Amino acid sequence: MQASSDTPLVELRNVSLSYGSGRERIPALEDVTLSIGKGEFVAVVGPSGCGKSTLMKLVTGLMPPTAGEVRVHGQTVKGPIRGVGMAFQAPTLMPWRTTRDNILLPLEVVEPHKRRFRKNKAEYVERVEKLLASVGLGGFGDKFPWQLSGGMQQRSSLCRALVHEPEILMLDEPFGALDAFTREELWGVMQALWLERRFTAVLVTHDLREAVYLADTVYVMSRRPGRIVKLRNVDLPRPRRLETTFEPRFVEIVHELRERIHLEHA
């Protein structure tokens, strides 16, 4: 069942989550309310250990909330949801599979592609090649992960997360382990993919410049237990470029977010 066009794609309503039980109970999130529109790019920032990654597990249905409600398409999430792609800080590519075969993997295991894979493999391979070309890896499909640089591996990981055309893309610090130049280059790659495909994206990051460069909306979380303490709309035109990061308006937004996070350490 699809929600109406004015219903947020993702909603968290007064969501709290605690780990453990009894006296050993550790609160991770507390009374979190947020909404994400279809096709929106959202970033979540905050101090280490504030529950940013836990938030992603709740949205995807990998963990149930202790209190409150998580809704996708207007329906309460009661288990892992379909139509999600995920990319992490470590590319987690299988070293014995070529880059192409690594990217094909979700199509081999995710329905409805799984049942169509053998019969339509040529079509899926063509899809992979187009994705590789779109991230600057045309001609690298036959290479193994160990033959690629860290940045090339992460580009491959993004392709794998998008190859089954997910409605929601979850990004858990996907560029955090890369050097500054490669990371900034991949911001441009990520933005181009989003502008072309308009999936809904949720980015968890420690990098405030990254958040402002990529997102429509930035949520700032408090120290544990994580609460939403600030919502900042990023009203900067797209496409954004590296030059944008030096413009006064961009710098102003980054400083505003940084000051709010520093309050959590006061």
Tell me the pairing of strands 84-88 and 168-172: parallel
- Angstrom distance (rounded) from CA 118 to CA 120: 6
Per-residue pLDDT of the chain (266 residues; tens, 9 = 90+): 333 346 799 999 999 999 877 777 888 999 999 999 999 999 999 888 788 888 889 999 999 999 999 999 999 999 999 889 999 888 889 999 999 999 999 999 887 888 888 888 999 999 999 999 999 999 999 999 999 999 999 999 999 999 999 999 999 999 988 899 999 999 999 999 999 999 999 999 999 999 999 999 999 999 888 999 999 999 999 999 999 999 999 999 999 999 999 887 66
Q: What angle do CA 133, 154, 243 make, to 5 degrees?
A: 80
End-to-end CA distance of the chain: 46
pTM here is 0.91
Structure tokens at 119: 């019969």
Peptide bond into 237 cis (omega under 30): no
50-53 contacts, C-beta under 8 A, 24 or more apart: 50/221, 50/222, 50/223, 50/224, 50/226, 50/264, 51/17, 51/221, 51/224, 51/225, 51/226, 52/204, 52/221, 52/226, 53/172, 53/204
Buried b (16+ CB within 10 A) or exposed e, 155-173: bbbbbbbbbbebbbbbbbb
